[in-house]
Amino acid sequence: MEFKGKVVVITGASAGLGRAIVREFARQGANIGLLARGKDGLEGAKREVEDMGGKALAIPTDVSQPDQVEAAADQIERELGPIDIWVNNAMISVFGPFKKLEMKDFKQVTEVTYLGQVYGTQAALKRMLPRDRGSIILVGSALAYRGIPLQSAYCGAKHGIQGFFDSLRAELFHDKSNINLSMVQLPAMNTTQFGFVKSYLPNKPQPMGTIYQPEVAAQAIAYIAKNPRRELYVGYPTVESILGNKIAPGLLDRYLGATGYDGQQTDEPKDPNRKDNLYEPLPGDHGSHGTFDAESWSFSPETWAATHKLATWGTLISLAAVTIGLFVSRK
């Protein structure tokens, strides 16, 4: 019960990764402020928190509207108590070549996915700064460092979050603040977004590369909330993408240009009557998982190693000692 009695705010809490984050913090005893547009999903998340013994406050909120975010933060502090942890998770996206996108769609993705995190951070800081304590977590992506085709709006938003994060971290250090600001960079996830995302593509969209279950990321986010650090990469593909882009960005441009279109679509044509959640939430309680359970990993060795450094270094040192011992004995 690591978060027993703590007040945690989670944006995008109704479905997908946000729903998995809610369950992880609730499992560890937190009282949770739930922010999202979808009322059905919010009520489902609220019931789950209460079933685990916690308190929950579900507040329908459009994070692209700063007045709504501010009002939600105020209500949470009145009804649940001072906010200890704020997780900026809400996002939306649109799939398609940039040349085909409507600019109103691009603007909507930017306002929710990028500015939603800015507004959430501002609301959290307003309350945490006078107390000089608290943690704010920005949910990023490997795509914050390495953009891919067909997701220019989303990649741009995640890049923006990364720059905002760097700038604000420096300001907090200047002010000698005790508030923890962290960012978690994620791989492809098996979440509901691929069933909801607006798409200009001919076939159904899918995550690209190795896919992880949302619980892997949720556990990493809870870990960094109780073990603050600057940044945490989740999954080896995230590490590979970020490091690869530092070493050979031009090569990745060509590689992704050749593979990124087919890699983000299934072989099934999309339903012409398919609805999306770009401007309005879809009704119903959709849970956390998407439709890619069979291909998804429920465990990440890289993330385990990153969050269990003592055990990892102990194992590496032991292996090195054994290797040296064998080498010496053979001489």
Residues in the chain: 331
For 231, the token pair is: 């940044």
CA atoms within 13 A on the CB side of 62: 11
Strand order in the sheet with 211-212: 188-189, 211-212, 296-297
Q: Are 21 and 13 in contact (CB under 8 A)?
A: yes
Pick the catalytic residue: 119, 145, 154, 223?
154
SS3 label, residue 298: coil
Rounded to an integer, what distance in angstroms lies between the CA atom of residue 259 and that of residue 125? Answer: 41
CA atoms within 13 A on the CB side of 253: 4
Rounded to an integer, what distance in angstroms lies between the CA atom of residue 308 and that of residue 120? Answer: 30
Is-catalytic flag, 154? Answer: yes
For 123, the token pair is: 């609301």
Catalytic residues: 154
